[in-house]
């Protein structure tokens, strides 16, 4: 597999995980459960590969907000309203950068 193909495959995977994270925020469950799902999916997407160019700050913000101990559910329950806003804004920025990278040709 060429380096370009590997890069494209990684970006497609990250895009898929972020779509799941964003979809998980749709109101059907308690908000903290939605945030826990989004945290889990974001970690899966970028836990082993760096974010695309331009998304480093957003990923750093998410990592900071997700750096406490405990389950994703426990972490989500502990976020203040301001931290939830920061999380959602950073997740959106990461989503946009990943989408651009995944579909840029």
| Pair of tokens at residue 30 | 């308690």
Classify 99 as helix, strand or coil.
Answer: helix
Q: pTM score, two decimals?
A: 0.71
pLDDT tens sequence across 83-93:
888 998 899 89
* Confidence check: pLDDT of 7 > 90: no
| Pair of tokens at residue 12 | 């497609």
pLDDT tens sequence across 29-73:
557 778 888 899 999 988 888 899 889 999 999 999 988 788 888
Write the DSSP symbol of residue 46: H
User: Taking the CB of residue 7, how many other CB atoms lie within 10 A of it?
Assistant: 15
| Pair of tokens at residue 102 | 């995944």
| Pair of tokens at residue 87 | 């999380």
Largest CA distance in the chain: 44
């Amino acid at each position: 597999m060429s380096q370009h193909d590997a890069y494209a495959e990684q970006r497609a995977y990250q895009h898929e995980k972020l779509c799941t994270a964003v979809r998980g925020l749709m109101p059907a469950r308690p908000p903290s459960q939605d945030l826990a799902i989004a945290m889990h999916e974001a970690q899966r997407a970028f836990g082993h590969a760096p974010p695309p160019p331009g998304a480093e700050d957003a990923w750093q913000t998410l990592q900071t907000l997700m750096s406490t101990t405990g389950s994703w559910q426990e972490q989500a329950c502990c976020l203040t309203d301001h931290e939830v806003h920061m999380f959602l804004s950073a997740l959106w920025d990461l989503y946009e950068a990943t989408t651009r990278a995944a579909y840029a040709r």
